[in-house]
Amino acid sequence: MSSPYASESLLQFNTFYNVVNGKLTESSSGQTYHNTNPSTLQANPEVPLSAQEDVDAAVNAAQVAAGHWAETPWAERKKKLQDFATALESQTENFSKMLVKENGKPLFWARIEVQSCIKWVREICELSLPDNIIEDTEQRRVVERYTPLGVAVGIVPWNFPLMLSFFKIPAALLTGNVFILKPSPFTPYCCLKVAELGLRFFPPGVLQAISGDDRLGPWVTEHPGVDKVAFTGSVATGKKILQTCSASMKRVTLEMGGNDPAIICADVDIAAIVPKVAMISFVNSGQLCMAVKRLYVHESIYDAFLAAMVEFVEGSFKVGDGFAENSFIGPITHRAQFDRVTELLDHIKESEFKIATKDSVDTSQQGFFISPMILDNPPDDSRPVVDEPFGPILPLLKWSEQSDVIQRANDTEYGLGASVWSKDMAQANQIASKLKAGSVWINTHGELEPHVAFGCHKSSGFGVECGVEGLKAYCNIQSVYSRPS
Ligand code: NAD
C-alpha cells in the first residue's frame, strides 16, 4: 500500500483500508463490503471485511506499541494529539462530505460533527491528571497516581460515528493508552480515515481501525489482549459486552440508549422555546441518544404548544438529501433502521393514536426519508412513549401535577438525559433535582462539553466519558507508599 505519511496532503476518500501496525491494510481474507448512501441508495466505496486474523494483528501491534506510548511524556502525547486535530481541521470538508454519504445527515450538520471532534481533541488536551499527594512527611510519602490500562478498544454506533469516536480517542491516547477503533458496520468510512490520518502523527499501533461485519465486535471484546472496551450503542449490545468482558475482567465503559423526557411548565414563552425543543427532538432524524423522546407539556398550555410545534416542524424542517440546500433532516441512516421505524409507524397507525402532523414516509424520493411525526397524547404505556424510536417520532403528553410528571418522566429503564423548561428557576431546579438521569438541563437540552463528565443512570450506561472522570476511565489508580530507607 502507498505511504500515507508523506505530507499535509488531503486524504483520498475513494479507497478505504484498515489501519494496522502503522500500515494501510486489506482484510487478510481479501474480502470487502460496501454500504449505500441513504439519500440516493448509490453504493459507497468498498471497505475491508476483516477476519479474526486482522483483529489478532491489530491487538498484537497495539500490545507492542502500548509500552513505549505509555512511556512517552504526557506533553509529547498532547502535542501529537493537537497536531492531529489541526490536520483534521484542514480536512473538515472532505470528512464532512463522506459523513453525508455514509450517514445521510445534511452537510451543515456533518460539518458541525467534524468541528466538534476537533474541539473535543483540543479541550481534552487541556485536561490533566496530576498525581494526588495524600501525605508528604519525614516518615512517609503517599501518592495516588494514574497509570494507563494498555490496549483500549472503541466500539461506536452509526448515528454520530465521528463524534462518538472522539469521545474516546483523545482521552485514551492522552492518558497513555493505545486505541483500536471498531466502527459500526453501517458507517465505517470516516472512522477508517481518522486512523489513516493518525498515521501521520502517532507511532505504529497507537491508533488503529478495522472494519467488518457483526462478527467483529465479539472478536475484539473477547480478545485476551484487550484491556478496556469503551462502547457506545444499544442497551442490548451493551449488556452482551459487559457479560463478555466480565470473563477476562476487562475494564468497560458503556454509553447506551436513552428515552429523554422534557417537562414543559405552564409559564414558558411558547414561541421562544418551540424551535429549541423541536430542534433537539428531530435533529439527525431523531437518531440521537439524547434527543427529546417524550415531551410532557402542562395541560394549561398543551393545545397551544402542540399547535405551535406542528406549525414550526412542518414549516421549518425540510427533509431531503444531505447535499441538497436547506435540508435540515436527512434520511434514516440505513435500511434496517428504516424498517424498524416504519414498523413503529405502522403500529402507531394501527393503534389509532392521534397523529398531529401530516403523513410521514416520503415515497417521492428514493432514499430512506421519513418526515417528523408528532403524536397527540398517546397512552403512557404505548410503544412510541416507552420505546426508544430512534427516528423522527415525538409523543406530546399532558401533565397537571408536578409530582405526577416527575414520576412519569422517571418511569423508564433509561436515564441518559432529561430537561425542565420554566421561567421559574426555583420550580425548575426543584423538578430537575428529582430527575434520574446522567445529564439534566434547565431551559436547554442536549448540551455537552469535552471538559464535563458525560455519564448515565440506570440502563443507559455504566461509567463516564469526557471530563477528568473520562480520563480516569482509561487509567488504573496506583497508590505508592514510600518511606526513607
Ligand atoms: P448497536 O448496539 O447495534 O451497535 C453499536 C456497536 O456495537 C456497533 O459498532 C456494532 O457493530 C457493535 N456490536 C454489535 N453487537 C456487538 C457485540 N455482540 N459485541 C461487540 N460489539 C457489538 O447500536 P446502534 O444501532 O449502532 O446504535 C444505536 C444505539 O446507540 C441507540 O440505542 C442509541 O441510543 C445508542 N447511542 C447511545 C449514545 C450514548 O452516548 N449514550 C450515543 C449514540 C447512540
CB of 417 closer than 6 angstroms to any ligand 1 atom: no
User: For position 362, what pLDDT does the model report?
Assistant: 67
Amino acid letter at 316? Answer: S
For a ligand 1 pocket test, name from 52, 55, 211, 234 the mutation site with the most ligand atoms within 8 angstroms of its C-beta: 234
What per-residue string of b and e applies to 243-258 under the rule 16 or more CB within 10 Å gives b?
Answer: ebbeeeebbbbbbbbb
Distance of alpha carbon 413 from alpha carbon 27, whole angstroms? 39
Beta bridge partner(s), residue 25: 18
Q: Please calculate the CA angle 284-297-294 and round it to the nearest 5 degrees.
A: 40
Position in ligand 1 atom list of the atom nearest CA 184: 9
Residues in Cβ contact with 239 at an 8 Å cutoff, skipping those fewer than 6 apart: none
Residue found under cell 484491556 = 227
Q: What is the pLDDT of residue 477?
A: 98
Quick check: CB of 464 below 6 Å from ligand 1? no
Span from the CA of 168 to the centroid of ligand 1 (angstroms):
14
The string of pLDDT tens digits covering residues 236-261 is 999 999 999 999 999 999 999 999 99
Tell me the three cell numbers of residue 153.
Answer: 478498544
Give per-residue pLDDT as tens, 353-407.
Answer: 999 999 766 677 789 999 999 999 999 999 999 999 999 999 999 999 999 999 9
pTM of the model: 0.96
Ligand 1: nearest atom to the Cα of 156? 9
Q: How far is the CA of 419 from the centre of ligand 1 (A)?
A: 24
Range(s) of the chain covered by CATH 3.40.309.10: 260-449
Ligand 1 in reach of 185 Cβ (< 6 A): yes
The ligand 1 atom nearest the CA atom of 456: 41
Number of helices and strands (H, E) in the chain?
A: 16, 21
- Domain 18-256+458-481 is classified in which CATH homologous superfamily? Aldehyde Dehydrogenase; Chain A, domain 1 (3.40.605.10)
Alpha-carbon dihedral sign for residues 74, 77, 80, 86? negative
* CATH 3.40.605.10 residue ranges for the chain: 18-256+458-481
Among candidate residues 157, 205, 208, 207, the one with its CA nearest the CA of residue 183: 157
Q: How far is the CA of 252 from the centre of ligand 1 (A)?
A: 14
CATH of 260-449, one of 2.30.40.10, 1.10.3720.10, 3.40.190.10, 3.40.309.10: 3.40.309.10
Nearest alpha carbon, ligand 1 atom 13? 217
Phi-psi region of 43 (alpha: psi -120 to 50; beta: other; left: phi over 0): beta
Q: What is the pLDDT of residue 407?
A: 98
Nearest to 45 by CA among 54, 30, 32: 32
Q: Cell 414516509 maps to which residue?
A: 361
Nearest ligand 1 atom to the CA of 241 is 19
Q: Which has the closest alpha carbon to 391: 285, 262, 281, 234?
A: 285
How far, in Å, CA of 442 to CA of 426, rounded? 11
Cell of 98: 463522506
Cα Dmax for the chain: 81
**Closest C-alpha to ligand 1, atom 34:** 257
Contact (Cβ atoms closer than 8 angstroms) between residue 306 and residue 272: no
Digit-coded pLDDT (tens) for 28-80: 999 999 999 999 999 999 999 999 999 999 999 999 999 999 999 999 999 99
CA-proximal residue: ligand 1, atom 40 (nearest): 255
Residues of the chain with pLDDT under 50: 1-7
Cβ pair 413, 257 in contact under 8 A: no
Beta-carbon count within 10 A of 160 CB: 24
Q: What is the pLDDT of residue 9?
A: 87
For residue 375, how far is its CA from the centre of ligand 1 (angstroms)?
Answer: 27
Q: Residue 412: which of 443, 440, 437, 444 has the closest Cα?
A: 437
Catalytic center residues: 255, 289
